[in-house]
Amino acid sequence: MHPIDTTLALALTVAALAGLATPAAEAQTLTATLDFATADTIRDRCLAHAGRAGVTVAVAVFDQGGNLVSFARDRTTPAAAEMALWKGRSAAIYLASTRETGTWNMATAPLVATVEGGVPLFTREGVGIGGVGVSGAPPEFDAACGAAGAEAAGLRVTPP
């Protein structure tokens, strides 16, 4: 056998065996996610809502994994900014409003916010994709501001 033929035969054998050893490709499933543009819309609409009411707030928008996607602090205190982050991350991870998590009697559970002002984010179909936290105004207003931002972005704060 010619040396080139031997090399070609060996290469084809290795390629064939490698193909047998490779696991079958798994099917990919698409899931709804929170993108930057939607998060920025939520943030901006919430800030506008607060501005019309004459209050300043901090707004933090998170994806379902608890990752910060968008944030703004409109002349609020550093404490209000931290509260918005706390509320938003809690709402995103637990997919529950912080008004609800405040009743869980689990104040020491990881990342559970116990003050109203964080709301979860759901698609129109009910898929949980994150949360928004607002702080700087009374807690009821903070929650309403987050909900207004979510609704302006075409999202829900409660599952259908």
The domain spanning residue 77 has which CATH number?
A: 3.30.450.150
64 is in which domain, residue-wise?
36-152
| Number of domains forming the structure of the chain | 1
Nearest to 91 by CA among 99, 103, 82: 99
**4, part of any domain:** no
> pTM above 0.85?
no
**111, part of any domain:** yes
Whole-number percent of the chain with pLDDT over 70: 81
**12, part of any domain:** no
Return the H-helix or E-strand segment holding 134: strand 128-135
Task: List strands edge to edge, sheet with 128-135.
Answer: 68-73, 58-63, 128-135, 118-122
Locate all alpha helices (DSSP H) within the chain, ordered by sequence: 3-21, 36-53, 78-94, 98-101, 139-152
**24, part of any domain:** no
**25, part of any domain:** no
pLDDT of 96 above 90: yes
**158, part of any domain:** no
pLDDT of 4 above 90: no
What CA–CA distances, in Å, run from 65 to 34, 49, 62?
10, 27, 8
pLDDT of 22 above 70: no
pLDDT of 1 above 60: no
pLDDT of 12 above 70: no
pLDDT at 117: 98
**43, part of any domain:** yes
Longest dimension (CA), the chain: 88
Mean pLDDT of the chain: 88
**139, part of any domain:** yes
